[in-house]
Amino acid sequence: MDAGFPEVRPRRLRGTKALRAMVAETALRPAELVLPVFVKEGLADPQPISSMPGVVQHTRDSVRKAAAQAAEAGVGGVIVFGIPADKDGVGSGADDPEGISQVAIADIRAEVGDDLVIMADLCLCEYTDHGHCGIVTEDGYVDNDATLERYASTAVAQARAGAHMVAPSGMMDGQVGAIRKALDGAGFRSLPICGYSAKYASAFYGPFREAAEGAPKFGDRATHQQDPANVLEALKEVGLDLAEGADMVMVKPALSYLDVIRRVADMVHVPVAAYQVSGEFAMIEAAAANGWLDRDKAIMETLTSIRRAGASVILSYWATEVSGWLA
């Protein structure tokens, strides 16, 4: 050290928990968290999801209670995934005014009003008998433009049910533009769209496919979801969604794509959401159950890293629980 300069010791600001909190560069707020909820038509009681400890397929009654608990904890929003009793090749239940997503959205809106942002996941995989995200041609390929028509109709149904925001997750080309046009034409010009703009063909969706009962019966989704090797492609997708009218963009999954979150956050001037997906949840819960790590610390560390990377909204199955810790 040169003479005349004080000795620099960064550890001086790490001495106590209160001191560390005072100088923390990144902080989580309950209002930034969104709770994903699964609602299944015809259930008498909530059904546990074996690969996601503590998470259930809700009944209409239990999802109202979960939403009320989330609102009381200060959670910012919920995102609704519906599971119909009957499925077909075109996902008819997705835009049915009496379909499970629409009635669940209406139930939640009646329960919490505007105290939570009610986001509606918008895709067809939970509603089709083949499990793909759109209309499938005879040769097994997802027809992009035919699927856009279904997305547009579904968005209007979700808006009429009371959703505060729609979130198209199918990764079809032009989906945001088609949905924006449909919403505007139906009188919902003020309803925002959160585009799943950078959604990767990830191995970390496994438990979700049990929860939402939307696993493809053949093939995979690599023709429309993004290659995990690519980041420039993600930035292109984000730019296209913004040009089509997206009000928020999402990166999914979160933990394996922190670099993508950072690149997107540096590029855009809208909120960036990140989805801490089912596989990320399941890994921590399984490791904690085996005593291999400290569950609560691991949860907070991962959420903080997602926030630090640049996400201003985080979808997490721990949203209500963590909001209680932050209170």
CA 314 to each of CA 128, 142, 205, 239, 305: distance values in angstroms, whole numbers, following the listed order: 28, 29, 16, 20, 11
Domain for residue 206, yes or no?
yes
Cβ atoms within 10 Å of 261's Cβ, excluding its own:
26
How far apart (Å, rounded) are the C-alpha atoms in residues 263 and 318?
25
Q: Is the pLDDT of residue 222 over 90?
A: no
* pLDDT average, residue stretch 240-261: 97
Confidence of residue 58 (pLDDT cuts 50, 70, 90): very high
pLDDT of residue 2: 57
- The number of distinct structural domains making up the chain is 1
Domain for residue 9, yes or no?
no
Helix/strand/coil (H/E/C) assignment for every residue in 107-171: HHHHHHCCCCEEEEEECCCCCECCCCCCCECCCCCECHHHHHHHHHHHHHHHHHHCCCEEEECCC
Domain for residue 238, yes or no?
yes
pLDDT of residue 137: 87
Domain for residue 10, yes or no?
no
Tell me which residue of 36, 59, 117, 81 sits closest to 281, measured CA to CA. Answer: 36
Q: Is the pLDDT of residue 237 over 90?
A: yes
Which stretch of 72-76, 101-105, 184-188, 224-228 has the lowest confidence by average pLDDT? 224-228
Tokens in use for 99?
A: 């379909």
pLDDT of residue 116: 97
Confidence of residue 218 (pLDDT cuts 50, 70, 90): low
Domain for residue 20, yes or no?
no
Domain for residue 207, yes or no?
yes
Range of the domain at 253: 27-326
Q: Which CATH number covers residue 316? A: 3.20.20.70
Of all residues in the chain, the percent with pLDDT exceeding 70 is 97
* pLDDT average, residue stretch 247-262: 98
Domain for residue 256, yes or no?
yes
Confidence of residue 207 (pLDDT cuts 50, 70, 90): confident
Domain for residue 295, yes or no?
yes
More confident: 4 or 211:
211
Residues catalogued as catalytic: 199, 252
User: Across all residues in the chain, what is the average pLDDT?
Assistant: 93
Tell me which residue of 185, 223, 211, 269 sits closest to 81, measured CA to CA. Answer: 211
Q: Is the pLDDT of residue 1 over 60?
A: no
- For 285-326, what is each residue's pLDDT tens digit? 999 999 999 999 999 999 999 999 999 999 999 999 999 999
